[in-house]
Structure 1
Amino acid sequence: MSKFDEIRYFHDHEVNEALGSIARDPMMKALMNFTFPGVDEQVWLEQFKEVHSISDFQHHFVAHTIRQILAKSSEGLTTSGFDQLDKNTPYLFISNHRDIVLDTSLLNLVLLESGHIMTASAIGDNLVKRNFLNVLAKLNRNFLVQRGLSLRERLKSSQTMSEYIDQQLHHENRSVWIAQREGRTKNGNDATQQGVLKMLAMASGNQSLTDYFKTLKIVPISISYEYDPTDSLKMPQLLAQHREEEYIKGKNEDFMTMLSGILGQKKRIHIHAGDVIDKELDDIAANIDNKNKQLQAIAQVIDDSIIQNYKLWPTKYIAYDLIHNTDTYASHYTEQEKQLFIRRLEMRISSSDAISKEYFLTMYANPLINKRKLEEN
């Protein structure tokens, strides 16, 4: 038994048996019919028998699924910054988080197609309660973030995860993807939780915080969807916060959100890989002694990179102008784009629900507002 067994993804020698265990699941059939329309079930069942590693599975099946998702639910994926990364170096990608499945899946497709090291990716265990999803996640090199623990258990779990991420980066030569915060950003304000950085620092041993973080080779990732396919699904939680009520998820809510994220219309998507955080860590070490303040400063560096490099699609400018009843940014969108966005708003939010409408528009506008603030400072 390894101390990582509760959270780790499959070893390659386990892959064939694990894939076989879900091969005839109705959800696998639906997934393969989506990925390879018109191909007889027996064909891919036979091909599954030849899969003996995660790399095999990702190259021959998962990459095709993601390309189909892009073809059917987007107007294309563009990227920037990846040409600045070394193809043989493992990085810790700390990303803003908008979609449960796609954020990391799209990044890995980019890494695969550009010849970079693909990631081990963190996923909340609450999202993979069904056996099919649990096995599929581990076949995709996802490791589990344990949720709903007591304070004492959470501390132990964070220590284990920190050591696992360290092992992936420093011993397995494997890049790692982790979201900048627990859960997706619902309001468009991308902010790194210090708790995530504290967890990463747990494996630092005797090294100083900044020296250890230099070894992680942190790359901030900015992912931007023109349309958020789960935009209206985020409203109930924002309304509960507005009313200062506890929000309780519905039984299948996470699963339905995953499906909506995958199949819903996204229009254009852009992913930017920021510069490796390195020199900034030297500056922080030289000017700040307090560890908590160092963590705060590192979080700010990550946030600034994500916000600065976030692609502002026309929807962000349209939402800003609609909130403020102005045409300040009219040069950034066409009348047709504006009318399409208004139609989306009207179809998703009741005209009598002024609060939800405001939250909906603010969610789209906040990346623009945050970038403006950053540029003004």
Structure 2
Amino acid sequence: MPTKFDSIRQFYDSEVNDALQSISNHPMMKALMSFTFPDLDEAVWMEQLKRTHSIRDFQVNFIYQSIQRVLERSSEGLTTSGFEKLDPSRSYLFISNHRDIILDTSLLNVSLYDHGQIMTASAIGDNLVQKSFLLALSRLNRNFLVRRGLPPRELLQSSKLMSEFMYHLLSKENRSVWIAQREGRTKDGNDATHQGVLKMLAMAADEKNVMEFFRKIRVVPVSISYEYDPTDALKMPQLMAEANDEVYIKEKNEDFITLISGIIGQKKRIHIHVGDILDKEYDKIIAENDNTNKQIQALAQVIDDSILSTYKLWPTNFIAYDLLHNTDQFASKYSEKEKQLFERRLEMRLGNEKETLRDSFLAMYANPVLNKMKYGNVD
């Protein structure tokens, strides 16, 4: 039966098998499966796809395995902390910093599954799934669409629909939801929650005080950090344009190239930390702020405090800080070999643009150190 969410929702389980059959012969599906199951004959995974009738089965039997291969090929492992605070029977709204288009949410889901928790439905920009295969694959992974580039009136209607859908998932289906703290990935390493994201979420609130709405949907800040950002060099042109007060115009297929680079590019170590479930913070916010705008602003700061203070710093962050500031303040945090490897990466990624882009590249890695220093717990 049609619902008002049909234009943005993931597939229902009753639609999964047909969707899988429609893409099973697609060259990109075959490439994904041969990457995931290099030792299996095509007929074997094809047969298993024919027997797959739910998103969970597809995620657990196929996509979970794909992400394990990605971790094996392009990282030195994923570590986690904080998941023990979650109740396996409850849904949560995870708000995280945003580094990589696909992996942020995929790695969170892998971690949730490993800890026996409810996996998430996740927001994805419709600009990233223009190709019919990618749209089908995203809906099979429980992604719902965020519509981009709309005129103001349509944007308002679209935001309201998305807010209602997320609330429906959390409250009626007991399904956890992931959303990034801002539109688009952080380009300069400064993670900050955009108030517009929180205002959009609050559109579904029927409470007089929106903080009670946020308490009800159980907001959990999440920090994710990669030792190497696999798309670091790809972020440089936009940073340069912004530094020169120029309007940045994306190249054709840029989103797709970034998406693939994030998956296959070298990341070294990765860490995901689940923060405390926000609760008592709302009482303080309500007591200290007399209107909704101020309360939203205060909530954004609470989320930022959680993400920035628990962000895992790597040797690359400390090396970049020392190089950028021409100091050896954090020399004890890395070896000479690690420094040489990072400097070689800098050379290789920037090439002839090294002089122009050096500081921007270093700042991307150094800013998390600066941000964490504000909390006095740089480690």
- Whether the TM-score (by the shorter chain) exceeds 0.5 is yes
1:215 equivalent to 2:216? Answer yes
Structure-to-structure mapping, 1:226-375, within 5 angstroms: 226-350=227-351, 353-375=354-376
State the TM-score, normalized to the length of structure 1.
0.98
1:103 equivalent to 2:104? Answer yes
Whether the aligned pair in 1 keeps the contact of 2:223 and 2:308 (CA below 8 Å) is: yes
Q: Counterpart in 2 of 1:33?
A: 34
| Aligned equivalents of 2:375, 2:294: Cα separation in 1 | 20
Query: Counterpart amino acid of 1:40?
Result: D
Query: Counterpart amino acid of 2:233?
Result: S
Give the secondary-structure state (helix, strand or coil) at the position aligned to 1:240.
Answer: helix
| Aligned equivalents of 1:147, 1:185: Cα separation in 2 | 17
Structure-to-structure mapping, 1:4-153, within 5 angstroms: 4-153=5-154
What is the RMSD of the two structures over their aligned residues, measured on CA atoms? Answer: 0.9
Whether the aligned pair in 1 keeps the contact of 2:209 and 2:292 (CA below 8 Å) is: no
Query: Counterpart amino acid of 2:258?
Result: T
Tell me how far 1:216 sits from its aligned partner. Answer: 1.1
Quick one: percent identity of the two aligned structures? 64
| Aligned equivalents of 1:207, 1:38: Cα separation in 2 | 58
Tell me how far 1:352 sits from its aligned partner. Answer: 5.1
| Aligned equivalents of 1:232, 1:20: Cα separation in 2 | 37
Whether the aligned pair in 1 keeps the contact of 2:123 and 2:146 (CA below 8 Å) is: yes
| Aligned equivalents of 2:47, 2:206: Cα separation in 1 | 47
- The CA deviation string for residues 36-78 of structure 1, in whole angstroms up to 9 with x for no partner, is 0031111111111100000110111000000000001000000
Give the secondary-structure state (helix, strand or coil) at the position aligned to 2:204.
Answer: coil
Q: Counterpart in 1 of 2:226?
A: 225
Tell me how far 1:351 sits from its aligned partner. Answer: 5.3
Query: Counterpart amino acid of 2:315?
Result: P
Structure 2, unaligned runs of 5 or more = none
| Aligned equivalents of 1:17, 1:143: Cα separation in 2 | 19
Query: Counterpart amino acid of 2:279?
Result: D
Q: Which moved more, 1:95-104 or 1:243-252?
A: 243-252
| Aligned equivalents of 1:227, 1:299: Cα separation in 2 | 27
| Aligned equivalents of 1:147, 1:106: Cα separation in 2 | 24
| Aligned equivalents of 2:266, 2:41: Cα separation in 1 | 28
Give the secondary-structure state (helix, strand or coil) at the position aligned to 1:245.
Answer: coil
Give the secondary-structure state (helix, strand or coil) at the position aligned to 1:77.
Answer: strand
Give the secondary-structure state (helix, strand or coil) at the position aligned to 1:202.
Answer: helix
Whether the aligned pair in 1 keeps the contact of 2:129 and 2:135 (CA below 8 Å) is: yes
Structure 1, unaligned runs of 5 or more = none
- The CA deviation string for residues 216-269 of structure 1, in whole angstroms up to 9 with x for no partner, is 100000000000000000000001111111111111111111111000100000
Q: Which moved more, 1:365-374 or 1:145-154?
A: 365-374
Tell me how far 1:20 sits from its aligned partner. Answer: 0.7
| Aligned equivalents of 2:356, 2:154: Cα separation in 1 | 38
| Aligned equivalents of 2:207, 2:103: Cα separation in 1 | 37
Tell me how far 1:353 sits from its aligned partner. Answer: 3.5
| Aligned equivalents of 1:206, 1:174: Cα separation in 2 | 21
| Aligned equivalents of 1:195, 1:185: Cα separation in 2 | 16
- The CA deviation string for residues 272-322 of structure 1, in whole angstroms up to 9 with x for no partner, is 000011111110011111111100000000001000010000000000000
Q: Which moved more, 1:367-376 or 1:336-345?
A: 367-376
Q: Which moved more, 1:285-294 or 1:60-69?
A: 285-294
Q: Which moved more, 1:140-149 or 1:245-254?
A: 245-254
Tell me how far 1:208 sits from its aligned partner. Answer: 1.1
| Aligned equivalents of 2:375, 2:154: Cα separation in 1 | 38
Whether the aligned pair in 1 keeps the contact of 2:207 and 2:213 (CA below 8 Å) is: no
| Aligned equivalents of 1:34, 1:352: Cα separation in 2 | 34
State the TM-score, normalized to the length of structure 2.
0.98
| Aligned equivalents of 1:205, 1:36: Cα separation in 2 | 48
Query: Counterpart amino acid of 2:193?
Result: T
